[in-house]
A = this chain, B = another copy of it.
């Protein structure tokens, strides 16, 4: 656990890491490639976009046929796995927020299931290589990818 963030004042951890007894398994369908490493990652996706990074998804060969029907310019929701996160924190005190907050009121990577979601634009598609260019994302190079979904306003926007 030495690579995980330390617990800060006001934070609450479960007595036992819940991920030790999983209810289901996820498979990594590929990796996200970004210029970012620990220490130089933008704080949010808006800042990542300003940097105009070279960012792409590499999909594993088995899953390449599942890309058929996606288009350049299309918005997609990516689900990805924040594999350096703590999974036992139910209350957190992020540096950029005042006071502690419940994990489900935050977008922190530290959560029982460290699945992050971001909506991005497809900028290129190479079906032979299984390579999907995206406009930007604020995660480390090599982050495991869990899903790609077409972004649909009727499902992904709050009701009017």
Chain A interfacial residues counted at CB < 8 A: 66
Q: Are B45's CB and A155's CB within 8 A?
A: yes
Binding site of A, secondary structure by majority: helix, strand, loop or mixed? mixed
This protein's copies in its complex: 2
A75 at the interface (CB under 8 A from B): yes
A49–B150 Cα distance when bound, in Å, is 21
Q: Are A90's CB and B102's CB within 8 A?
A: no
| Chain B nearest CB, measured from A143 CB (Å) | 12
| Chain B nearest CB, measured from A114 CB (Å) | 9
| Chain B nearest CB, measured from A112 CB (Å) | 5
Q: Are A149's CB and B107's CB within 8 A?
A: yes
Q: Which residue of B lies closest to A127 (CB)?
A: B102
Q: In the assembled complex, which residues on chain B have CB atoms less than 8 Å from the CB atom of A149?
A: 104, 107, 117
23 A-B residue pairs with CB within 8 Å: A12-B65, A18-B62, A19-B25, A23-B25, A23-B27, A25-B26, A29-B112, A29-B113, A44-B155, A66-B91, A67-B102, A76-B104, A104-B149, A107-B152, A113-B147, A117-B149, A117-B155, A118-B155, A119-B156, A119-B157, A121-B158, A121-B159, A135-B159
